[in-house]
């Protein structure tokens, strides 16, 4: 092989490596699905949104049906307001519920839809009223420790030894 063909091969290899790095960066930033398809907007209110971020997926039955476009706080009710863009190909009944779920034990959070049985569908701009807030791991651990401490205090005050 000549020196020129080796240089071309090395250049192509470097370009392939750069393309792979860009792909991984877009995948990590949750930007790989840049579909310009038609969408409609839905919103939901939660008491606690946990670590939910914009661009997080909205899923139903494990299928990504949309993305979160904004997360904010309602100044009157002090609830988290989440705005979502849902692909037009997916329509959900009016009594659909939205839950904030976690992918794996400590993974990213996303919104999961559970469709109801209503015959009418949600219209663009509607608000989902049936919501379940995020489960915060720190709160669960605190409740567990508080209950264990209360049980230990009750057991020692009644004369029983654990």
The alpha carbon dihedral of 66, 70, 74, 80 has a sign of: positive
Residue ranges making up the domain that contains 1:
1-32
Residue 102 CB partners (closer than 8 Å, separation 6+): 108, 109, 110, 134, 135
Same domain? 27 vs 102: no
Q: 46 and 12 in one domain?
A: no
In this prediction, residue 58 carries a pLDDT of 93
pLDDT in tens, the chain (162 residues): 788 999 999 999 999 999 999 988 877 766 655 555 788 999 999 998 888 899 899 999 989 999 999 999 999 999 999 999 999 989 999 999 999 988 876 778 899 999 988 899 999 999 998 998 877 777 778 888 888 888 777 766 555 555
Q: Which stretches does DSSP call E strand in 61-146? A: 63-73, 80-87, 97-102, 109-114, 127-128, 130-132
DSSP character at residue 107? -
Query: Does residue 154 form part of some domain?
Result: no
Residue 81, domain member (yes or no): yes
As to burial, measured by CB atoms within 10 angstroms (0-12 exposed, 13-18 middle, 19+ buried), residue 160 is exposed
Domain co-membership, 57 together with 95: yes
Does some domain include residue 117?
yes
Does residue 28 sit in the same domain as residue 62? no
**For residue 87, what pLDDT is reported?**
92
Number of domains in the chain: 2
Alpha helices in the chain (DSSP H): 3-28, 137-157
* Residues 122 and 70 grouped into a single domain: yes
Same domain, 26 and 44: no
């Amino acid at each position: 092989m000549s020196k020129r063909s080796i240089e071309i091969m090395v250049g192509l290899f470097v370009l392939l490596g750069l393309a792979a790095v860009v792909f991984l960066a877009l995948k990590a930033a949750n930007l790989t699905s840049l579909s310009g398809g038609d969408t409609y907007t839905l919103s939901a209110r939660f008491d606690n949104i946990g670590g939910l971020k914009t661009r997080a997926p909205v899923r139903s039955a494990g299928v990504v049906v949309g993305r979160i476009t904004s997360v904010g706080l309602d100044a009157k009710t002090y609830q988290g307001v989440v705005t979502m863009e849902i692909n037009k190909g997916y329509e959900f009944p009016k009594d659909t519920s939205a839950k904030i779920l976690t992918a794996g034990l400590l993974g990213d959070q996303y919104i999961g839809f559970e469709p109801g049985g209503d015959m009418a569908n949600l219209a663009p701009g509607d608000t989902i009223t049936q919501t379940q807030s995020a489960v915060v791991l720190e709160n669960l651990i605190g409740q567990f420790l508080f209950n264990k401490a209360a049980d230990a205090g009750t057991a020692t005050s009644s004369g029983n030894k654990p």
